[in-house]
Structure formats: structure tokens, C-alpha cells
Structure 1
């Protein structure tokens, strides 16, 4: 079974649970193991919260006040991308560094959490257009569902 969807959301806290619920419902429909669904929904929530907080200037332009979430469930893989129009990731984050002191800060743990919950994570900047965090995970299905474990 393949499921693909994309959301264009306002940079508001209320958008985060909407994206999370759609992902959980999609994975439930596909028969994904609930533990994996939960992990990916937490990772998605963190990516969305990051886009809401850092994803653009506070301008009246709706394009700058929005972010995009895209999810692909195809076979035994789920890939999620969250793109915003903010300043982008610092160079040390894109190179996989900048994580050592996050445990000492009150915020900033979300990207590290995504890295722990997903199988592969990629941070990239789109020059002049914001940042994208993409992550994927191999899925495991519940017994008797459309999704077959490999």
C-alpha cells in the first residue's frame, strides 16, 4: 500500500497536532505497528514545532508564515519532510555536529530526538528559501494488515 500526502500549514502551534493526527491515521490505515507510528509521530511533532518556532520571519506574507509537511508511506518505508522559509540550519548542524551541549539547554533537543527516533535524518538549507528536515524509517506492520513486514 502506498499513501502520500502534503500539507501547507500556517506557522501556528495549532498546526502541529493536525499534522501528527494525519500521520497517525495514515499509518493506522496502512497497518503500521503502533510503536513505530508513535515514534514517527513524535519526530514529526518535533520537526513541525521547530518550523513553527524558527521557520520564517514574522511577516504578513502568508508564504513566509507557513511551512510544508509531506509524508510518503510506500511499502515498508515512511519518509517525512518538513520545509520552512526560515533562516536555515547552522553549518555545524548540517554537518552532524552541534549536539554535544543540547542536554544543558532548556530547548533545542527536538532535532536530536528526531535523530534518535528515525533511521535516517537529513538537514539541508535551501538558499534564500528556508530549511528542510527529512527523515525516514523502516516500518513494521501489525499482524493481519495490508503492510507486510520484510
Structure 2
């Protein structure tokens, strides 16, 4: 079985507590490191997860907890962060379809910067939010693998 055939799936349910974002990152990073994903790729995924969880902790004031679902399959990592924290109007966040350059990220309003940072480090980003209900942030990243035989 090659690394690209590997399938990994896990879910975390966490209270809306900033201190636990680090634990979620550590759990995901350990799993990806053990599978042989490169440090640079894991850094991008860790940053994206930090931003997605940070949005829940900072903005989903009605949520008491949130869910992280991770699937690694076919050489791709897909992560969904879901909350029931009241949602927001996605039209109020500047478009994030294209990865912004760093200078642009610095000029964004405080409320929308996390999604722009996230978009800059992943290949695909979907944000589905329903006002007065909740938000789903789904992103994916193609995995880069350490050379075979390297420990």
C-alpha cells in the first residue's frame, strides 16, 4: 500500500475554548507526520486549521462547542469545521476565491482576515453559513510526502 492509498478519518468535538485549538492542531499534525506528510505541507494545514477554529472561538458566540472532521484519502486532506454558533452573512466578508498576497492580508478588516489567510494556504475553500443557525468551513489541501524510506 502506498501513502497515496492511505485512508485516515477522525472527528473531534471541542468546547469553544481557545486553549483547545492547540490540542486539535497537535492531534492532526501528529497523524499527518506519522503518515509521512512533509513539514511544509503540515505547516499549511496547521495554519488553516488554526484560522478555521479561531473563527469559531472568536465569532460563533452562540456555540458551546464545535466539530472538526478530518479525512485523508487519495493524497488529499479535507477538513470540515462546523459550529451552531449563529452563522453570519457571507456577503459581508470580502471575496476569498483567490489567494491574497501577504500585503493585502494586512489591509483586510479584522473580521475577514482569517478566511483570507486560510484561502492562501489551501487549494479549495468552501464557507457555508446560515444567519441565526451556524457555519461550515470546508477546506482541502493536496498532500506532499517525505521521500520513501526517510524516517
TM surpasses 0.5: yes
Shift of 1:48: 0.4
**Preserved CA contact (<8 Å) 1:2 1:72:** yes
Runs (4+) off by over 6 Å: 99-102
2:79 maps to which residue? 80
SS at match of 1:108: helix
**Preserved CA contact (<8 Å) 1:126 1:132:** no
One of 119, 127, 132 as aligned partner of 1:123? 127
2:107 maps to which residue? 103
2:66 maps to which residue? 67
CA 1:93/1:117 → structure 2, altered by over 3 Å: closer, same or farther?
farther
**Total equivalences in the alignment:** 139
SS at match of 1:86: strand
More helix by share: 2
TM-score scaled to structure 2, two decimals? 0.81
User: Over aligned residue pairs, what C-alpha RMSD do you find?
Assistant: 2.5
TM-score scaled to structure 1, two decimals? 0.81
Unaligned runs of 5+ in 1: 58-63, 146-150
